[in-house]
Structure 1
Amino acid sequence: MNGLTPLGVFHTAVSLVAVVAGLMAFFRDKEILLKTRLGKVYVIATLITCLTGFGIFAHGGFGKPHALGVITLLVLLLAAVAGYTRWLGRASPYVETVSYSATFLFHMIPGITETTTRLPLGAPLLPNAEAPELQAAAGVMFVLFLIGAALQVRRLRARQARQARPAGHPAPA
């Protein structure tokens, strides 16, 4: 499969499971949460993707993809801590939600890079991972992440405001 090792094929397949689970969670729940079945599938597949990525050295030694894997693991840990403890106080649900969304962005960057530099077979869309088009695509994805995170924070604030209102009291006009 275009120079992929068996580990590379497995890594790619599991990452696709994570991306699909993440997309389904965004569409269904507007967020990725470890407390849901889709969230669990996403997080487990993301963990496996990160761990298998450490065994892939297609471009030499430890590189940017490996660093992104380390960052992804740290952000997953932060999200889990925020989701299962009150260590971050009132910020916990915000940190949890935005952190899981950030890990989805982290999937998209290498996904777009690998896809555009490998496909179509024999004549990839872009020559290499340093192509300016990829930097532009990463910028667009980052802006989309910021918009999505802002919408998620707004939704969480509204949810917390509803929960804080005493029963029978309407929302302020």
Structure 2
Amino acid sequence: MSPLGIFHTALGVLALGSGIAAYAMHGGISPRSKAGLLYLASTLVVSLTGFGLFAHGGFGKPHGLAVLTLLTLALAYAAGSSGWFGAAGRKIETVGYSFTFFLHFIPGITETFTRVPLGNPVFDSPEAPPLKAIAGVLFLLFLAGARAQLKAMPSELRRQ
């Protein structure tokens, strides 16, 4: 791995850890908590540094995920901090930040399972069908988690 790749990976682990802490302490990721703010800042930098990594040659799907993550971060931030989305703002913010958490896992599982163990990785290609199945299960978990977060919102936010 290159120095940028090591930095990117370490920061990705920090993002996941702070995201987990935000969920455990506050029930979700929000820029209004220290753990949430750390998650958002590290996710932003991870997405940006991802553009300098070309493990599978050229601009590819991981870079597309970085673009999607950046767009989702911007949308969620705007939804939570402006009046653009009206009463739905906090809901969009909540689901948006949770979606970025889900997106961390796509390159994370792909890169891990196509590299580890060294010399004999679990999967030989990022396109391996089991990897797609794992991503599908993770997406279902995201949907269930987002629904649970919305239901757990204070009633005054849920009615909006």
Map 1:17-166; keep pairs closer than 5 Å. 17-156=14-153, 158=155, 160=157
Whether 1:5 and 2:2 are equivalent positions in the alignment is: yes
Separation in structure 2 between the aligned mates of residue 59 and residue 114 of structure 1, nearest angstrom: 10
Separation in structure 2 between the aligned mates of residue 42 and residue 51 of structure 1, nearest angstrom: 14
Deviations 1:99-137 (A, max 9, x none): 000000110111011111111112111111011110000
Q: Calculate the TM-score normalised by the size of structure 1.
A: 0.89
Question: Who wins on radius of gyration, i.e. which is larger?
Answer: 1
Tell me the C-alpha RMSD between the 2 structures.
1.5
Separation in structure 1 between the aligned mates of residue 12 and residue 77 of structure 2, nearest angstrom: 19
* Superposition misfits of 4+ residues, deviation over 6 angstroms: none
Residue identity opposite 2:12 in structure 1:
S
Deviates more, 1:91-100 or 1:114-123: 114-123
**8 Å CA contact retained: 2:27, 2:149:** yes
Separation in structure 1 between the aligned mates of residue 25 and residue 120 of structure 2, nearest angstrom: 37
Deviations 1:2-24 (A, max 9, x none): xx111100000001100000011
Following superposition, the deviation at residue 159 of structure 1 comes to: 5.1
Which segments of 5 or more consecutive residues in structure 2 lack a partner in the other structure?
none
Query: Residues 13 and 161 (structure 1 numbering): CA distance in 2 closer, same or farther, change over 3 Å?
Result: closer
Residue identity opposite 2:149 in structure 1:
Q
Deviations 1:29-78 (A, max 9, x none): 11100111011100110011011100011111110000110110000001
Separation in structure 2 between the aligned mates of residue 116 and residue 30 of structure 1, nearest angstrom: 29
Report how many aligned residue pairs link the two structures.
Answer: 160
Percent identity over paired residues: 50
Separation in structure 1 between the aligned mates of residue 111 and residue 101 of structure 2, nearest angstrom: 16
Q: Calculate the TM-score normalised by the size of structure 2.
A: 0.96
**8 Å CA contact retained: 2:151, 2:158:** no
Following superposition, the deviation at residue 161 of structure 1 comes to: 6.3
